Amino acid sequence: MSEQTESLDRVMLIAAHPDDPEFGCGGTIAKWAAAGKEITYVLLTSGDKGSRDPNIRPGQLATRREAEQRAAAAVLGVKEVLFLRYPDGLLENTLTLRHQLAAIIRRHKPHILMAIDPWRHYQLHPDHRAAGQAALDALWSAREWHIFAEQLDGDEEPWRVKEAYLFWTDQPDYYEDISETIDKRIEALACHVSQVGTDREKLAERIKERSRKTGEEAGCEYAEAFKRFKF
């Protein structure tokens, strides 16, 4: 079961789209926020292609999805939500993105980084692969003296993230018991109406079924799984 990480009190979650954090690890976010951790989201896109309705304009959808994400984050106790507004569906792990994320990591100084596992077998969504890889490349860059050295003004030093937790992984080695926060996860996901609809009961059944299966692996009622790295 999970180890205590009370001293690691700043957490940054980097993901591709609004709703990725809640689908990926919303119960853990709620649990950690309630325990006093300071959570920051960095969403690389605003989900402007996240609809099959050809009549919805991407700009209108992006505005709606950003509002939904902020509402969901508020439910979980997230302190801040940042949107980088790269085009949805076209995300690439470029040096420009790595530079931007390294600067954000150095500015916010998270102890823990959470991201999508880019090495998950048969991960089809290119944005998910790119977001996970960009987050980890930026984590490495942020701790190096001579990578993006122009970001280190005055007495500023590189920042070394202490732990990384990768969600949507097929090689988990760490589980977080979310039995007490499963309802918060569902409440937050329900904010993403453009993606999950309005059937709260169906949503709850879906999330509880998946979390229960993970809980069986972890030895508790409901759980979320991660690949964890310590640095």
Q: Where are the domains of the chain?
A: 10-230
**Tens-place pLDDT, residues 48-65:** 998 888 878 889 999 999
Residue ranges, the chain, pLDDT below 50: 1-6
Which CATH number is correct for 10-230, 3.40.50.720, 3.30.930.10, 3.30.70.120, 3.40.50.10320? Answer: 3.40.50.10320
- 3-state class percentages of the chain: helix first, strand second, coil last, to nearest 5: 45, 20, 40
How many CB atoms are located within 10 Å of the residue 206 CB? 14
Q: How much is the pLDDT for 76?
A: 98
Q: Which two tokens stand for residue 32?
A: 């950690």
Predicted structure pTM score: 0.94
* Angle subtended by helix axes 182-190 and 58-76, to nearest 10: 160
Q: How much is the pLDDT for 5?
A: 45
